[in-house]
């Protein structure tokens, strides 16, 4: 196992001439800070952008506020790396920020991962604006630092990079992607030597190393051609895609069974998933797959969607249009880097609605239930294990407990699911499935991350098998509800705008922690799990999350957003179907219960949001 990085600061080491900006810094000092950044920026386009903003800041309060925001602090390592709006300055995504992050990543790898130089780093990127330039910068800087680099020559899905980190036993992987964010964003995602997204203390060690990094212009970046000629950078193996597709097919529960004549409409939402997703579906026997033509080719401008996240309202409208026209049975949609999956299916016999889009919780429950009930016996000494996050539907846990499958909840974010899956395998379990409510699913251990392509193939298989048995995804959800109870999930957001927003959200969480409600909507709070104490479960990292468990069995979870001045509140209720009761009556009772809980929170905190059946 690689040594865990130590997080320490060395006095006197260079920091590139930049420092954190205080909210009260005088404008002249702010402009001087910006001039130092410009002097160290190797990219002429962002240098010019910042010079223009500097000039406008002398006569425009809006421009001065924009400048201040760009220097409020460095873009922080968050979910597995960096993510932010493209633009000039340390609080934006640009070549200078990526150069210093890559310099830091190289130092941490070489200092802490045994054999890192020879094991090397996989580097790839999606098709967003600046992805190509940033990917090449990453590869050149890592190679110049002494690391062997394997570079994907062209846009690739994120799961393919994660798969190849594991297959090649690399020291790390870097993917330039902002996943499902709007077009003005890009990001920098890091896998570590276990092929899992970085978790503490690795992220903190890289952050400290960034603070020691020189100015970006002083980070060595030799020409890519010279590095290729010296074999310090090599192309990804020619069989990478074939090996990935073979691994996906090995995940099938009932290979070639079911009605594979299923008519499917697929969309990559202008991302990079189309070619591999359709190949994976074809390999599984699904030959009637139609790709939405307006969204088939990669386009970082995402011209047909306001927000390229298949979870967002309207994102799959074009797919729905083509599905209607083609009389399709199933819609599958990946996000732009193909690590998320949305599923919609035709609703036969209902004149009010032709297709139903399932929530992330519903798809997670459907896939998890299918794997737990249809897979053969496990050869693992402790049997199988499934995972979900603490804000995903607990229904999967109830099913697992009834079926004798080990179940655990992790913190929010797939890095926690994947890292826990590795630990469970080391303990003697077979990791079967993990999911988070935000359309993320991991089937088996081929990819140590969410993978929208393998999930799409499994979802198509499930729909085909059910159709051959005279059933549907909708009917399967109802059957699960009859046996394990009707589950309903919802989310509301509490937003505090302006400069005081983050402090107000912090105060809100403190108030919930120190003065928790005794009841919500007349439902008594019987226990509170405070994940910040580290006492909820051994080995679970501390996190600013509160979970309120109610007498009815309902659960309310509150946590602050990691990127916005917003608190997210998640609700889960379950209603058993009483003997002689209709499923619809139980659904209506669950809906009333969750709406009452949402109203109680909205009244106390000020919130808005929607709900979805699971």
Q: Are residues 198 and 288 located together in one domain of the fold?
A: no
Whole-angstrom distance, CA of residue 144 vs CA of residue 106: 9
Q: Average pLDDT for residues 589-606, to the nearest whole number?
A: 89
CA terminus-to-terminus distance, the chain: 39
- CA-CA distance, 483 to 476, in Å (whole number)? 11
**Predicted confidence (pLDDT) per residue in 291-345, tens digit:** 999 999 999 999 999 899 999 999 999 999 999 999 999 999 999 999 999 999 9
Same domain assignment for residues 456 and 502: no
As a whole number, mean pLDDT of residues 124-135 equals 98
88 and 167 together in one domain: yes
Beta bridge partners of residue 557, listed in sequence order:
547, 570
Give the chain's mean pLDDT.
92
Domain match, 246 and 227 both: no
Please state, in angstroms and rounded to a whole number, the distance separating the CA atoms of residues 237 and 124: 13
Strands of 149-151's sheet, edge to edge? 81-85, 185-191, 172-176, 121-125, 149-151, 233-235
- pLDDT of 13 above 60: no
User: Where residue 591 falls among pLDDT bands split at 50, 70, 90?
Assistant: very high
Note whether 100 and 192 are same-domain residues: yes
Token pair in block for residue 323: 């599905």
Residues with active-site annotation: 179
Q: Could you list the residue range(s) of the whole structural domain that residue 521 is in?
A: 485-613
Q: Which two tokens stand for residue 91?
A: 């609080």
The domain boundary, picked from 222, 238, 254, lies at 238
74, two tokens: 């460095």
Q: What is the pLDDT of residue 12?
A: 30
Mean pLDDT (whole number) for 142-161: 98
Domain-located, residue 138? yes
Together in a domain, 335 and 247: yes
> How far is Cα 377 from Cα 290, in angstroms, rounded to an integer?
36
Q: Is the pLDDT of residue 71 over 60?
A: yes
| Least-confidence region, from 57-61, 347-351, 530-534 | 347-351
Residue 390 predicted with pLDDT over 60: yes
pLDDT tens-digit map of 444-461: 999 999 999 999 999 999
pLDDT at 51: 97
- Please say whether the beta carbons of 279 and 475 come within 8 A: no
CA–CA gap between residue 21 and residue 36 (Å, rounded)? 13
Contacts of 350 (CB under 8 A, 6+ apart): none
Q: Which residues contact 159 (CB under 8 A, 6 or more apart)?
A: 244, 338, 339, 447, 449, 450, 451, 452, 453, 454
Residues 192 and 175 in one domain: yes
> Contacts by 165-168 with C-beta closer than 8 Å and gap 24+?
165/122, 165/191, 165/195, 166/195, 166/446, 166/447, 166/448, 167/240, 167/243, 168/119, 168/120, 168/122, 168/237
The mean-pLDDT minimum among 508-517, 562-571, 599-608 falls in 599-608
Look at residue 6 and tell me whether its pLDDT is greater than 60.
Answer: no
Residue 13 lies in a domain: no
Is the per-residue pLDDT at 607 higher than 70? no
Instruction: Tell which residue, 111, 37, 127, 43, has the closest CA to residue 75.
Output: 37
The answer to whether 50 touches 34, Cβ cutoff 8 Å, is yes
Instruction: Tell me the whole-structure pTM to 2 decimals.
Output: 0.93
In-domain check, residue 349:
yes
Phi first, then psi, for residue 52 (nearest 5°) are -60, -40
Q: 41 lies in a domain?
A: no
- Asked which of 56-70, 366-380, 393-407, 562-576 is least confident by mean pLDDT, the reply is 562-576
Residues 282 and 294 in one domain: yes
pLDDT-derived band at 439 (thresholds 50, 70, 90) equals very high
pLDDT tens column, 231-266: 999 999 999 999 999 999 999 999 989 999 999 999
pLDDT in the model for residue 252:
97
Question: Could you read off the pLDDT of 99-113 as tens digits, one per residue?
Answer: 999 999 999 999 999
Report d(CA 541, CA 530) in Å as an integer.
12
- Chain-centre distance of CA 284, in angstroms? 26
Q: Are residues 197 and 269 in the same domain?
A: no
Residue 77, pLDDT score: 78
Q: Is residue 190 part of a domain?
A: yes
User: How many domains does the chain contain in total?
Assistant: 3
Distance, in Å, from the CA atom of 352 to the CA atom of 270, rounded to the nearest integer, reads: 30
Indicate if the pLDDT at residue 117 is higher than 60.
yes
Percentage of the chain exceeding pLDDT 90: 84
- 352 pLDDT exceeds 70? no
Query: Which residues, at least 6 apart from 168, have a Cβ–Cβ distance to it below 8 Å?
Result: 119, 120, 122, 150, 237
Q: What percent of the chain has pLDDT over 70?
A: 93
Residue 149 bridge partners (DSSP): 121, 233
Residue 612: beta bridge partners? 489
Indicate if the pLDDT at residue 73 is higher than 90.
no
Do 386 and 433 meet the contact criterion of CB atoms below 8 Å apart?
yes
What does the pLDDT average to over 584-592?
Answer: 95
Domain boundary among 211, 238, 265: 238
Residues 171-222: pLDDT tens digits?
A: 999 999 999 999 999 999 999 999 999 999 999 999 999 999 999 999 999 9
Question: Are 441 and 539 in the same domain?
Answer: no
Domain CATH code at residue 176: 3.40.120.10
DSSP per-residue codes, 249-312: HTT-SSTT-S-TT--EEEE-TTSS-HHHHHHHHHHTT---EEE-GGGSS--TT-TT-SS--TTS
530 and 542 Cβ atoms separated by less than 8 Å:
no
- 118 token code pair: 């020879």
What pLDDT is stored for residue 606 in this prediction?
63
Q: How far apart are CA 359 and CA 363, in angstroms?
A: 6
For the residues 389-404, what does the mean pLDDT come to? 97
Largest CA distance in the chain: 75
Instruction: Tell me, yes or no, whether 397 and 489 share the same domain.
Output: no
The reply to whether 234 and 244 lie within a common domain is no
Is residue 6 classed as helix, strand or coil in its secondary structure?
A: coil
Q: Is residue 395 part of a domain?
A: yes
So what's the pLDDT on residue 33?
94
Q: How confident is the model at residue 4 (pLDDT cuts 50, 70, 90)?
A: very low
Q: What letter does residue 437 receive in the DSSP assignment?
A: T
Say if 9 falls within a structural domain: no
pLDDT classification of 1: cutoffs 50, 70, 90: very low
As given in the structure block, the two tokens for residue 25 are 């810094």
Q: What is the DSSP letter of 542?
A: P
Examine residue 21 and state whether it is found in any structural domain, yes or no.
no
Evaluate if residue 351 carries a pLDDT over 80.
no
- Return the pLDDT at 500: 79
Cis amide bond preceding 86, omega within 30: no
Q: How far apart are the C-alpha atoms of 595 and 601, rounded to whole Å?
A: 10
pLDDT band for 3, please (50, 70, 90 cuts).
very low
**pLDDT surpasses 70 at 536:** yes
> Is 321 or 497 the better-scoring residue by pLDDT?
321
Q: Cβ distance 50 to 41 under 8 Å?
A: yes
> Quick one: which of 8, 3, 210 has its CA closest to 111?
3
The domain that holds 584 is classified in CATH as 3.60.90
Q: Please say whether the beta carbons of 482 and 472 come within 8 A.
A: no
Give the end of a domain, one of 238, 262, 292. Answer: 238
Instruction: Give the per-residue pLDDT at 597.
Output: 95
Dihedral, CA of residue 396, residue 398, residue 404 and residue 409, to nearest 10: 60
Confidence tier at 561 by pLDDT (50, 70, 90): confident
What band does 612 get if pLDDT is binned at 50, 70 and 90?
Answer: very low
Instruction: Determine the Cα–Cα distance for residues 318 and 326; give it in Å rounded to an integer.
Output: 12
Quick: pLDDT tens for 75-100.
887 667 899 999 999 999 999 999 99
Residue spans of alpha helices (H) in 491-569: 501-514
């Amino acid at each position: 196992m690689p040594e865990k990085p130590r997080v320490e600061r060395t006095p006197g080491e260079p920091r590139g001439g930049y420092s954190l900006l205080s909210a009260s810094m005088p404008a002249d000092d702010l402009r001087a800070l910006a001039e130092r950044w410009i002097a160290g920026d190797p990219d002429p386009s962002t240098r010019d952008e910042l010079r223009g903003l500097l000039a406008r800041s002398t006569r425009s309060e809006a421009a001065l506020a924009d400048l201040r925001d760009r220097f409020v602090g460095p873009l922080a390592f968050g979910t597995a790396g960096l993510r932010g709006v493209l633009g000039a300055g340390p609080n934006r995504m640009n070549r200078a920020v990526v150069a210093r992050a890559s310099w830091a990543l190289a130092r941490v790898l070489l200092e802490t991962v045994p054999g890192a130089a020879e094991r090397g780093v996989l580097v790839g990127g999606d098709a967003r604006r600046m992805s190509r330039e940033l990917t090449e910068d990453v590869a050149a800087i890592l190679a110049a630092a002494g690391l062997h680099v394997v570079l994907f020559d062209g846009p690739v899905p994120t799961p393919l990079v994660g798969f190849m980190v594991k297959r090649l036993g690399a020291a790390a992987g870097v993917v330039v992607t902002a996943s499902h964010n709007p077009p003005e964003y890009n990001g920098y995602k890091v896998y570590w030597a276990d092929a899992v997204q970085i978790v503490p203390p690795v992220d903190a060690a890289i952050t400290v190393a960034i603070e020691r990094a020189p100015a970006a212009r002083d980070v060595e970046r030799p020409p890519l051609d010279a590095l290729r000629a010296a074999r310090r950078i090599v192309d990804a193996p020619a069989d990478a895609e074939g090996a990935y597709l073979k691994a996906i097919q090995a995940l099938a529960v009932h290979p070639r069974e079911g009605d594979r004549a299923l008519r499917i409409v697929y969309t990559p939402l202008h991302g990079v998933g189309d070619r591999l997703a359709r190949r994976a579906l074809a390999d599984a026997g699904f030959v009637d797959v139609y790709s939405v033509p307006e969204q088939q080719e990669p386009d970082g401008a995402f011209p047909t969607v306001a927000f390229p996240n298949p979870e967002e309202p309207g994102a799959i409208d074009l797919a729905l249009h083509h599905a209607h026209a083609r009389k399709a049975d199933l819609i599958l949609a990946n996000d732009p880097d193909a690590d998320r999956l949305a599923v919609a299916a035709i609703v036969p016999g209902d004149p009010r609605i032709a297709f139903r889009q399932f929530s992330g919780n519903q798809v997670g429950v459907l896939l998890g239930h299918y794997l737990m009930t249809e897979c053969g016996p496990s050869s693992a000494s402790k049997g199988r294990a499934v995972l979900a996050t603490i804000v995903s539907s607990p229904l999967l846990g109830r099913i697992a407990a009834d079926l004798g499958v080990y179940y655990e909840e992790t913190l929010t974010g797939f890095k926690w699911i994947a890292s826990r899956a590795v630990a469970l395998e080391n303990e003697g379990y077979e990791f079967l499935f993990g999911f988070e409510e935000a359309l993320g699913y991991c089937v088996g251990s081929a990819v140590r991350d969410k993978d929208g392509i393998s999930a799409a193939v499994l979802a198509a298989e499930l729909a085909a098998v059910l159709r051959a048995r005279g059933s549907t995804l909708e009917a399967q959800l109802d059957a699960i509800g009859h046996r394990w109870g009707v589950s309903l999930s919802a989310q509301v957001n509490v937003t505090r705008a302006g400069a005081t927003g983050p402090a107000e959200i912090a105060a809100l969480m403190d108030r919930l922690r120190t003065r928790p409600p005794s009841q919500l909507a007349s439902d008594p709070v019987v226990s509170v799990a405070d994940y910040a104490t580290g006492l909820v479960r051994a080995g679970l990292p501390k996190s600013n999350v509160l979970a309120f468990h109610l007498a009815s069995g309902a659960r309310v979870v509150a946590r602050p957003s990691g990127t916005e001045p917003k608190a997210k509140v998640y609700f889960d209720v379950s209603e058993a179907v009483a003997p002689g009761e209709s499923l619809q009556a139980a659904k209506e009772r669950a809906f009333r219960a969750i709406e009452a809980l949402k109203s109680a929170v909205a009244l106390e905190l000020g919130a808005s949001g929607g709900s979805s059946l699971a």
